Structure 1
Amino acid sequence: MSEQQIFRVTLRMQVHPGKGADFERVWHDSADTITGQPANLGQWLSKSLDEDDVYYIVSDWTDEERFREYEQSAEHLEHRGRLHPYRSAGTMATMRVVHHFTGAAARA
């Protein structure tokens, strides 16, 4: 698959103060809901170093259509519901990967 076909979703999650560890645990324990999707290429959870209680979730998909199918599914609503009690705000950005270069450390 070429990088230009990869559909990327980035979620910014503001978590209630003091709930970060619980959010991370629930996210981790239910991550296979996303990675088990046939069109999912992988996902990452990152914690901001610049903003308190902010997390970023990045997931890559084979194409937008199959992501949107999952987004409208009952399985997605259930997954989102597990994370909702910890979240105070959130935004989503979607994009296509245009170029990707593997760094020296990854090639070693």
Structure 2
Amino acid sequence: MAGAGAFRVMLRMQIKPGAEDEFERVWTEIGDSVTSHPANLGQWLSRSEEKGVYYIVSDWVDEARFREFETSRRHLDHRQKLHPFRTGGTMTTMQVVAFLPSSATAVTHAEWEAAR
């Protein structure tokens, strides 16, 4: 996970009704075209409670390297593969100013309850 100083991009995508499962499948299959870029720090796909709305968050080492990727052939190919599923979307960019790591350990709920 990216820490302070990372450049974060958040996309809100509206997906055509009935195309959600196929969108998720394709997004997962082609995701390495983003995550294999040396400046990418990771990417997340989240489904909103709002029907057909997804959020994609990706972290980058800095804005300049993201903008380099954004205008690359690699990015254009990636966008073309996802475009048939979209009915709209927006992009928000931001600078991460602080990161507070969790002190929790990865345990199941049952393990947590047993330890209480």
Same fold (TM over 0.5): yes
Output the TM-score relative to the length of structure 1. 0.92
Structure 1 counterpart of 2:74, one-letter code? E
Aligned residues: 106
What percent identity do the matched residue pairs reach?
A: 56
Could you say which residue in structure 1 is the equivalent of 2:87? 88
Structure 1: gaps (5+ residues): none
Q: Distance in 2 between matches of 1:42 and 1:35?
A: 6
**Runs of 4+ more than 3 Å apart:** none
Corresponding residue for 1:44? 44
Q: Which amino acid aligns with 1:61?
A: W
**Per-residue deviation at 1:105?**
2.6
Aligned residue for 2:22, secondary structure, equals helix
SS in 2 for 1:4: coil
* Deviation of 1:107 (Å): 7.3
Higher Rg of the two aligned structures? 2
What 5-or-longer segments of structure 2 have no aligned partner? 108-116
Deviation at residue 102 of structure 1 after TM alignment: 1.5
Q: Which residue of 2 aligns with 1:67?
A: 66
What residue in structure 2 maps to residue 31 of structure 1? 31
Q: Could you say what secondary structure the match of 1:105 adopts?
A: coil
Q: Is the 8 A contact 2:11 2:55 kept in 1?
A: yes
Give the superposed CA RMSD: 1.5
What is the aligned partner in structure 2 of residue 56 from structure 1?
Answer: 55
